[in-house]
Amino acid sequence: AQSVTQLDSQVPVFEEAPVELRCNYSSSVSVYLFWYVQYPNQGLQLLLKYLSGSTLVESINGFEAEFNKSQTSFHLRKPSVHISDTAEYFCAVITYNNNDMRFGAGTRLTVKP
């Protein structure tokens, strides 16, 4: 079965600094990859996804992630973070042939002024 590892449980950064949240996955078959964001006391919101095509995907609020098949990674990046980006971020993977979405343990991003 597929699995996801998020290498950092907490990432503190200062406002306007760049950030990278790391995600590695394991699967014997082709996958779809997702990043979800969860603000306090709210459900998960889809941030961006890789299904096929260009390996670099972007969100509307400045985040981007690159699918690297050889390194089995899907790291999330933002060149300049805002206080409002403070949240929990989850990487998730689903394989082509089932609907069992597997999530990483999450990375808590804290943006400080």
- Residue 45 binds other proteins, judged by CB under 8 A: yes
Q: Which position among 57, 94, 109, 111 is part of the footprint of other proteins (CB under 8 A)?
A: 94
Residues 49-88 that bind other proteins (CB under 8 A): 49, 51
Residue whose CB is less far from other proteins, 36 or 63: 36
CA 104, CA 40: separation in Å to the nearest integer?
Answer: 18
CA 103, CA 36: separation in Å to the nearest integer?
Answer: 9
Chain-centre distance for alpha carbon 40: 17
- Residue 106 binds other proteins, judged by CB under 8 A: yes
User: What's the first-to-final CA gap in the chain, in angstroms?
Assistant: 41
- Residue 90 binds other proteins, judged by CB under 8 A: yes
| Number of Cα atoms under 13 Å in the Cβ half of residue 54 | 6
- Binding-site ranges for other proteins (CB under 8 A): 4, 6, 9, 32, 34, 36, 41-46, 49, 51, 90, 92, 94, 98-106
